[in-house]
Amino acid sequence: MRRIGFIGVGVMGKSMVRNLMKAGYQVKIYTRTRNKALDVIDEGAVWCEDIAQCVCDSEAVVTIVGYPNDVEEVYFGANGILENAPRGCYLIDMTTTSPKLSKRIYESARERGMHALDAPVSGGDTGARNGTLSIMVGGDREAFDKCYPIFQVLGSNIIYEGPAGYGQHTKMANQIAITGTIASVCEAICYGRKMGLNLQTMLDSISAGAAGSWQMTNNALKILREDFAPGFYIKHFIKDMMIAAEEAESMGLNLKILNSVLDMYRDLADNRSLGDLGTQALIKYYEDQAE
């Protein structure tokens, strides 16, 4: 496979398109706002006016959009992927979305002679830029094996999770784990600040031990620099946490840490209009509580 249609050229998608082109893939792109993709167009990506044009002759289609309703629109819309991609095409949705929706896409694709994979990612803008994303894939094993060369360009930890929807369920577990980690990092910083510690020295000391984590290594440093630019938007993390909470509740699980951190982020987004900041801006919630 060399021809890829790519839908959703945002913070992460743009770097993923670049990596695919560097690896020799011919990439056609579609995104709602052309001006935001001018740089990758100048670098060789072929702009398409609509989804149908983007996917009509693609051997694989990659999507990474914002919300479940966006996924539904690009796949099931009258001008969408399922109505316009050719038989035999591999459909790879890398959006974090509902496992139930991923299963629906899988079944609809199979009816049309296509192969659908749910392949959400973790690693943020840094992982997308460096091609080191963790990719969690659900769907048929044969389709996973066929698309593995594409995944290798985009990530370094690529794991087949099981049937359709299992990639999304694994991503839910990932997001649940992050909630406690980012909140704990913020609490450690608040504690260190209150006690008069040199925060950089503190982080250097604890990040190399049992407290070490991706959040500690990356987002903690952004917090110290007061860099709240989005590697991953608060508004998108809220979406992920809401899906996880709904899936957990449907199985009778009460995940208290997840629900608590979800409430914190909702407060930042709803009451302070901070949904377009990065997830490290959770520190602002704690700073407010300390005042």
**What is the SS3 assignment for 65?**
coil
Residue 113: Cβ within 10 Å count: 11
Q: What is the pLDDT of residue 123?
A: 87
Residue of 14, 28, 103, 171 with catalytic role: 171
Q: What is the pLDDT of residue 290?
A: 62
Q: From first to last of its 291 residues, what are the pLDDT tens digits of the chain? A: 799 999 999 888 999 999 999 999 999 999 988 888 999 999 999 999 999 999 999 999 999 998 999 999 999 998 999 999 999 999 999 999 999 999 999 999 999 999 999 999 998 888 999 999 999 999 999 999 999 999 999 999 999 999 999 999 999 999 999 999 999 999 999 999 999 999 999 999 999 999 999 999 999 999 999 999 988 899 999 999 999 999 999 999 999 999 999 999 999 999 999 999 999 999 999 988 765
From the list 244, 242, 233, 243, the residue with the least C-alpha distance to 269 is 233
From the list 7, 77, 94, 76, the residue with the least C-alpha distance to 47 is 7
Which residues, including other chains, have CB under 8 Å from residue 141's CB and lie 6 or more apart? 160
Q: Measured in whole angstroms, how far is the alpha carbon of residue 62 from the centre of its chain?
A: 13
Residue at token pair 């983007």:
54
Q: What is the pLDDT of residue 289?
A: 74
| Distance separating alpha carbons of residues 166 and 172, to the nearest angstrom | 10
| Distance separating alpha carbons of residues 271 and 114, to the nearest angstrom | 44
Active site residue 222: no
Q: What is the pLDDT of residue 81?
A: 98
Domains of the chain: 3-163 (3.40.50.720), 169-290 (1.10.1040.10)
